[in-house]
Amino acid sequence: MSLRSHGQFQTERLLIEPWDTPMIEDPEALCKELSSILDNDVTAFLPPHLLFQPGETKVEEWAKAFAGGSFDFATSKNKISTIRLSSTDTTALTGLLMLRTVPSSQEDDDISTDMHIGYIFGKDHWGKGLATELLKGLVKHLQQAGYQGTLHAGVAHGNPASSRVLEKAGFSAAPATSSGEEHDVDFFIRSFAGKAD
């Protein structure tokens, strides 16, 4: 399942839409827009390969890493969709949402494919409830689209605010915890109709 195949959606303050191809094909526009939200605080709790260090990390390289190496919206196993989050008032970039399909032994039927999610918001947009609004809106959108898979999310122990956001959106703690080189990670899941936890 991808947002490209099911269209964009909107919450009270956010427009959630696939990153459009024309912007991606214009690296200068892409870098300018991403530069408005990226800094080391914004990416601090992302996996090590996604940390952003101003002056050291090139925006283009970070964007490719965030998108899994390419800007490919195809819906298939192990594909990543990069979703643009913008303000409904100004259409300015506020953050990014990433959806990555999880490999499954079952037939890939689009509505039952499991997905890992991740998101970032620019610092100017922290503390305003936008992450909760985004995830509740995503859950509602997927329910309306008939999605029957499971969403997976990982949260570094040092980021309890993200754990609370996931819980508010109906996620529950998964039994597995992974120790990484940089962070211990708590995992959360949100299963949809017809799919057992």
Given the candidates 2.130.10.10, 3.30.590.10, 3.40.630.30, 3.60.110.10, the CATH classification of the domain at 3-191 is 3.40.630.30
pLDDT greater than 60 at residue 148: yes
pLDDT tens for each residue of 149-191: 999 999 988 888 999 999 999 999 987 655 544 458 889 999 9
**Look-up of token digits 């898979």:** 149
Domain positions in the chain are: 3-191
Query: Tokens in use for 45?
Result: 């709790």
List the structure tokens of 34.
């991403």
Q: Average of pLDDT values for 6-19?
A: 84
Question: Residue 16 in contact with residue 9, Cβ under 8 Å?
Answer: yes
The tens digit of pLDDT for each residue in 19-38 reads: 755 455 666 777 788 888 88
Integer Cα distance of 57 and 50 in angstroms: 10
Q: Is the pTM of this model over 0.85?
A: no
For strands 115-121 and 150-156, give the pairing. parallel
| DSSP labels, 122-185 | -GGGTTSSHHHHHHHHHHHHHHHTT--SEEEEEEETT-HHHHHHHHHTT-EEEEEEEE-SS-EE
Task: Report helix, strand or coil for 33.
Answer: helix
